[in-house]
Structure formats: C-alpha cells, structure tokens
Amino acid sequence: LFRLTMKRLSSTSHSSVDSKEMKKFQLLAHKWWDEEGEYSALHSMNDIRVPFIRDTLLNMGRNYHLGNPLSGVKILDVGCGGGLLSEPLARLGASVTGIDPLEDNIRTADQHKSFDPVLDKRIEYKSCSLEEIVEESMETFDVIVASEVVEHVADLEMFINCCSQVLKPGGSLFITTINKTQLSYVLGVVVAEKIIGIVPEGTHEWEKFVPPEELERLLESNGFSVKTVNGMLYNPLSGSWSWMENTSINYAMHAVKLAAREQPSPTDELSEMESKKHSATAGAAE
Amino acid sequence: AAPPLYDVVVSGGGMVGSAMAAALGHDVHFHDKKIALLEAGARKEYDRMPESFSNRVSSISPGSATLLSSFGAWDHVCSLRLKPFRRMQVWDACSEAMIVFEKDDLDDMGYIVENDVIMSALTKQLDAVADRVEVFYGSRAVGYTWPLPSHSCDTSPWVQIELADGRRLQTKLLIGADGHNSVVRKEAEIKNLEHRYDQSAVVATLHLSEATDNNVAWQRFLPTGPIALLPLSDTVSSLVWSTSHDHALELLTMDEESFVDSINSAFWSNANHTDFIDSAGAMFRSAISLLKPSGTGVRQLPPSVARVDPESRAMFPLGMGHATEYVQHRVALIGDAAHRVHPLAGQGVNLGFGDIACLAHHLRAAAFNGSDLGSLKHLLKFETERQRHNVSFITAIDVLKRLYSTKLAPLVLLRTWGLQATNALPPIKVRI
C-alpha cells in the first residue's frame, strides 16, 4: 500500500509560487470562513498557533498592554489564504499585511474583514507572491508568519531568502508545516485526505513536505537562528490541536533573523582553522 | 451610515446584567473593546440609602462576593450596608427534624444585602468605566436580526438590534440578561422548560422583639411553603414567605398585628406535628447518636417579631424555568433568562453571578487569543460548564419544593430522616 508518488518539481520559474498548487486552492476560495467546513482544522489550529506567536513575542521582552498585546507590531502573513490567521493577530493589535498569490483568496479575505472597522484598518491584503514585495519592503516587518505554506512553495531556499530580506534584523519568523516521514504520509495524507476527509483531497504532496532538520539547516544558512521547534498533533475526534514533543507529523518553528554583526563571516572559519593549528603545534611543542 | 458596532451588548440592566457589563468593563483584556448595556428603566440615583430597609433582599454567597470584589463593587456594598450571617437553621413544621449549616472556621456563610445596595454599587462601578461601557437607559430592544452562522455574501455578520425609539445597534456578541421572560431568548427561539408554581412569595421588613446578634438565617418548611427570616441588622429582618396565592393575598391585606401574629405562629407553632412522626423522628435521632455521638446539632430558637414596616408588604408569583440552550451563534443567556428557581434556597442571584464569572472567564481567554467574541466555540464551553452546574442544582431545589409541600406521613418521614441524616453527615453538608 505504501507508494511514493514520484513527481518532478517544476522549478523552472523564478518564483516560489507553484501554479499547480494554486489551482488546488482556487476551487475552495470561498470556503475559508465556514468554521465547520473544509478548513475547520485550520480554524482550530488558531487555538495553538495564535498563543504560540503571541507568547513568544511577549516573552521577547517588549512592553505591552494585555488589552492590546501586539500593538505596534508589523506582521507579514505569507500565504494568508482567506485571512484565518491575519484576523486574530490584528485583533491583538498588530498591523498585518496578508499576501497570497490567489486573487480569489484575497477577495474573500478583503470581504470578510470589511465588516469590522478595526480589522479593516489594521489589515491590508495584497494578491501577489513574496518575491514581488521584496523590493518595496526591505527590512520592513517585525514578524513573518508562514503557516501551512512552505509545503506548497516551489523553491524553499529562495522563499527563506526573501523572508530574510523583508524582515528587520532581530525579527521573528514563525513557520508551521508538515514533516516528511512515513507517519506524516499515512496520517497527514492518506488518513486526513482520503479516509476521514479533514483536509480537502489532493491538498498535500508528500514529496514537498519538509523535515524540521532540513528547514533548520536552510534557515541557519540564511542568517536565521532557530529558537524553538515544537511538534503539533491534531485530534480528529475533538477537532482540536495540541502540542507534543514528537515532530513526526506537524510542527511549528520559531527563528530569529540575526542582526548584521552576529552573521558568521568567511574570515571566522579561517581564523578557527588557524587557532586549531595553533593549539596542535602548541601541543607538539610540549 | 451603518449602525454603531459594539463588541458586546448586554440586554437587561438588573443585578446580573449590570454586573456582567461591569465585569467586562473592568477587565484588562477588554480595555479597547466597546461594550453597551441596554436597560428599559430610567437611571436610578442611589446617592444616599434611605434609613428604612428595602423589602427586596438577596442572600449573597461568598463566591458571589468574590466576583463583585473582582471589579471593585463589593467595597461599595460594604460601605453602604449588609448583614453577614454565620449560621442557617432549616427545619420542618411537621417534625422535629432540622438541619444546621455552619462553617467550622466561624467564617461568614453568606450576606444578606438589599438589592438596591447591590445596584448602587454596580452603578458606581459602571460609571467608573464609562469610556468603555455605554449604558442606554430608557431603552428597550424591540427587534433582533440574527446573522447566518457562516456568511459568505453581502449580509452583515453581526447581530442587529432595534430599540423602541428607532435607534439601531450592531454587536458581535449579544448577552441576554433580561429576566425570566427574556425577549432575547424568545427571539432567538430557544426553547424554555417552564412551570408556574401555585405559590407566591410575600416579602416584608420586620422589626424583632428584642435586639440580638441576629447572624442566623432561619427557614421553616410549612406544608403551604417555606417561610424564611433573613437578618438585616440587629433589630431588623427581611421576610420571604412562599405560600399559596390565596394565603399570600390574605397576608397582604390583613392588618399589621394579625400579620405579625401569623409570622410568629408559623415559626413557633407545633400544630402540624403528629405523635407518630415525632416518635419516629426521636427514634432515628437516638440511632444516629449511637453512630455519631456529637449528634444532630444544637437547636436554636428563632427570634420573635414585634412589628412590620408599614408599606413594606409585597407579593410576587413564583415559577421555575430552564432554557434548553444557553448559547447560540453570537448569543449567550445569563441569570434568570437562562434559569429561574424557587427562592427556598436563596440562590437565584448567586446562580446568575456564577454565570457571569464563567462567561467572563471564557470571553477574556477568547479576547486574548484574538478570537471572534461571538464564536460558538468558546460560548459552548460556557454553556457546558454552567448547565452541568445548574441543572442538578435547579432540579434539587424543585424536588425539595415538592417534597416539602405535603403533610402525608410517608413523605414527611422520608424528609425527616433525610434531613436528620444530612445534618449528621459532614460531607453532604459541605457540598451544599
């Protein structure tokens, strides 16, 4: 029964957006806000991802008021879809820019926030890809959230690189995604999509799942320091998410963009080798 | 222009509605939210309490006192007037059986507070957060328009409220605190299980024959209904006498002397005792004292009444009710709108305050998570918690009411033994 679907990734475009992926979401563009519908698992994921983002930021020592904990924080929600995560973050006081390559998603998101004047003011939605805003948004954002997105992008390294460019030094990057394991294939694709149907069928391709070790490696080699990795578990009976140690299925990651002087530079490596030689000769001289 | 949009609108400015609005208004997580309270009556000024006591009082439990102090209202109550009581003696007219409630550590069991005092304290605390909580006096809601649960079209996702004077409001969450005939509940088409008791309660303010510590609440179950004496001061107590409609009318219209005589007779007379029950009761009592030497507690004698405050006699009909659902998308019911009980346990308003503590807890968690306040997800948690607590309580009160409404020997024996046993058993008493 266990069959790997071998698909070649078409990365000929200079874009992190995968057009095949876009087609999948097109059909469900108007289903975002039905809490009991196709996206119910994403709605309930807010119960753990919003507190995770909120508490991580509050613990980074900023002054805040409990009534408006994220006031003054500029957040970029990449792959915002219908705005499921943008809205709670904005309610907590943040200024949110939500981007999604699919126009219909942005249309749904815009329409949903329009009835609430506070959200309308704090959130701005744009239909575009991450690369398209890099030039005008260099080092603009305090926080980037890429939730349930990196398993859909065409070129992950370029995606991370763009994140780094639009993020202020010391800024935070939050990612939630799915691990690439046998378990995640069975539970995340077979069971979730084909058997229980809590995720619309065809949403995920196991080949594109990203193991946390690989994500961490890519982040650290692009100027980020990974601070937290936590496993997440979905209970289909209760429809709720919880944290767990094990990252075999879903996981969340928090990384911080290193400030300029903290960047490891090529000269450091050389001097490291020299000091090693030094201690070796010192030892020999004894 | 669209009608003004509020985060929370509380419909009903009684003790429970006002406390709900004040609790949210003083909550730090609601600092930037807009709250409105709709009250049909005019604003009452409570600057100075009159010398004489009001005839509408409530027994406030320590839990309710904690809620009221959480937003600064309890201090006002204490500085106005209240009467703590340490002991509750409950006994039967048809037998010697009685049960005494007392806290071991000599703490206050509860407080008798005039409803006007509570309203004065709540109004003060609402004034203190007037920038967050807008109180609409003289405003009755005449129509509600409910949104579809998952809107994807051009209709507003909020609850629309139309006031009698034509003004309109919108809200993300509507809290119905509009009493046992709740309009919110009716308009939301939430089914209500209700039952009218064939009883009315007579209230009055009584002056005792002699000054005493007066820190005991007394209740005697007569076949026609329970009569209770709640302390207000060393010389004044409040009467709550639940009885048949006819008898209630009689009590209201008879002259003051006869009224006082009826009360004293109700508390002191043993006319309803039968030898059979008395000996059966005595037998049971000696059986218990073999098992539990400390026995069944000391019987104190209730105070006798000298006179009644003129103009203080009033009556109101009694009933019981329970809403099948406490919540719906963007709607929550609290207080008598959700559940109505017989005053025999003195718990009506405490159940309402308990609702407030629970709902406020879930709403502040929702606010801190950036959630939509009207979302059923957290409203259902409130409903489950409160229904679990309330249903067994309300059923018990109803059962007690029916059990004590008879002179039939078997049932009297049952409740006699039951009461004596309960009095002797610490664990059950603590739970109550």
Determine whether the interchain pair A66/B370 forms a contact, defined as Cβ–Cβ distance below 8 Å. no
What secondary structure letter does DSSP report for B232?
Answer: -
| Residue A281 clears pLDDT 60, i.e. is over it | no
Identify the residue with better confidence: A2 or A110: A110
* Number of Cβ pairs < 8 A linking chain A and chain B: 58
| pTM of this prediction exceeds 0.90 | no
User: What tokens were used for A196?
Assistant: 């229980």
Average pLDDT over residues A4-31: 61
Determine whether the interchain pair A88/B369 forms a contact, defined as Cβ–Cβ distance below 8 Å. yes
Question: Distance from A272 to chain B by nearest Cα, in Å?
Answer: 47
| C-alpha–C-alpha distance, residues B391 and B430, integer Å | 19
Question: Distance from B381 to chain A by nearest Cα, in Å?
Answer: 13
One-character DSSP codes across B305-356: EEEE-TT--EEEEEEEEEES-SEETTEEE-GGGTEE--GGGS-HHHHHHHHH
| C-alpha–C-alpha distance, residues B174 and B159, integer Å | 7
Average pLDDT over residues A256-274: 61
pLDDT of A8 reads 36
Tell me, yes or no, if B150 comes closer than 8 A to chain A by beta carbon.
yes
Sign of CA dihedral A85, A87, A91, A94: positive
* 8 Å CB contact between B165 and B139: yes
| C-alpha–C-alpha distance, residues B265 and B271, integer Å | 9
Tell me, yes or no, if B3 comes closer than 8 A to chain A by beta carbon.
no
Determine whether the interchain pair A66/B158 forms a contact, defined as Cβ–Cβ distance below 8 Å. no
B206 closest CA partner among B301, B303, B113: B303
Query: Phi/psi of residue A145, each to 5°?
Result: -115, 130
pLDDT of B351 reads 95
Domain A19-260, architecture per CATH:
3-Layer(aba) Sandwich (3.40)
B335: left (phi over 0), alpha (psi -120 to 50) or beta: left
Q: Which residues of B touch A240 (CB under 8 A)?
A: none
pLDDT of A54 reads 96
Tell me, yes or no, if B157 comes closer than 8 A to chain A by beta carbon.
yes
B338 closest CA partner among B145, B181, B144, B147: B181
The residues that bridge with B320 in the sheet, in sequence order, are B195
pLDDT of B153 reads 64
Which stretch of A144-153, A203-212, B103-112, B390-399 has the lowest confidence by average pLDDT? B103-112
Q: What is the pLDDT of residues B199-235, one digit of tens each?
A: 999 999 999 998 888 888 999 888 888 999 999 999 9
Tell me, yes or no, if A262 comes closer than 8 A to chain B by beta carbon.
no
| Residue A158 clears pLDDT 60, i.e. is over it | yes
Domain count, chain B: 1
pLDDT of B343 reads 87
| C-alpha–C-alpha distance, residues B280 and B257, integer Å | 37
| Residue A264 clears pLDDT 60, i.e. is over it | no
Q: What is the pLDDT of residues A99-124, one digit of tens each?
A: 999 999 999 999 999 999 999 999 99
Which stretch of A22-36, A133-147, A223-237, B203-217 has the lowest confidence by average pLDDT? A22-36
Determine whether the interchain pair B150/A34 forms a contact, defined as Cβ–Cβ distance below 8 Å. yes
A285 falls in which pLDDT band (50, 70, 90)? very low
| C-alpha–C-alpha distance, residues A89 and B184, integer Å | 32
| Residue A6 clears pLDDT 70, i.e. is over it | no
* 8 Å CB contact between B184 and B331: yes
Entry field: residues in chain A: 286
Tell me, yes or no, if A69 comes closer than 8 A to chain B by beta carbon.
yes
Of all residues in chain A, the one with the smallest CA distance to B366 is A47
| Residue A277 clears pLDDT 60, i.e. is over it | no
Tell me, yes or no, if A66 comes closer than 8 A to chain B by beta carbon.
yes
Tell me, yes or no, if B286 comes closer than 8 A to chain A by beta carbon.
no
CATH number at residue B139: 3.50.50.60
* 8 Å CB contact between B35 and B7: yes
Of all residues in chain A, the one with the smallest CA distance to B171 is A116
Residue ranges in B172-303 assigned as alpha helix (H): 183-187, 245-253, 256-268, 275-291
Residue appearing with tokens 């946390």: A212
| C-alpha–C-alpha distance, residues A4 and A16, integer Å | 24
For chain A, first and last CA: distance in Å?
64
Average pLDDT value for chain A: 84
| Residues spanned by the domain of B232 | 5-44+53-430
**Positions in chain B whose pLDDT score sits under 70:** 95-97, 99, 102-106, 150-153, 271-272, 274, 276, 288-298, 407-410, 413, 417, 420-432
Sign of CA dihedral A83, A85, A90, A91: positive
A contact residues 226-255, partner B, Cβ 8 Å cutoff:
none
| Residue A12 clears pLDDT 50, i.e. is over it | no
A28 falls in which pLDDT band (50, 70, 90)? confident
Question: Distance from B12 to chain A by nearest Cα, in Å?
Answer: 25
Triad B296, B270, B59: Cα angle to 5°: 60
Determine whether the interchain pair A36/B375 forms a contact, defined as Cβ–Cβ distance below 8 Å. no
SS3 B153: coil
- How far is CA B404 from each of CA B49, B92, B278, B321, rounded to the nearest angstrom? 37, 8, 17, 19
Choose the mutation target among A32, A33, A35 for the interface with B, i.e. most B CBs under 10 Å: A35
pLDDT of B300 reads 76
pLDDT of A284 reads 46
ipTM: 0.85
Which residues touch B42 (CB under 8 Å, ≥6 apart)?
B137, B138
Q: Which residues of B touch A83 (CB under 8 A)?
A: none
| C-alpha–C-alpha distance, residues B338 and B178, integer Å | 9
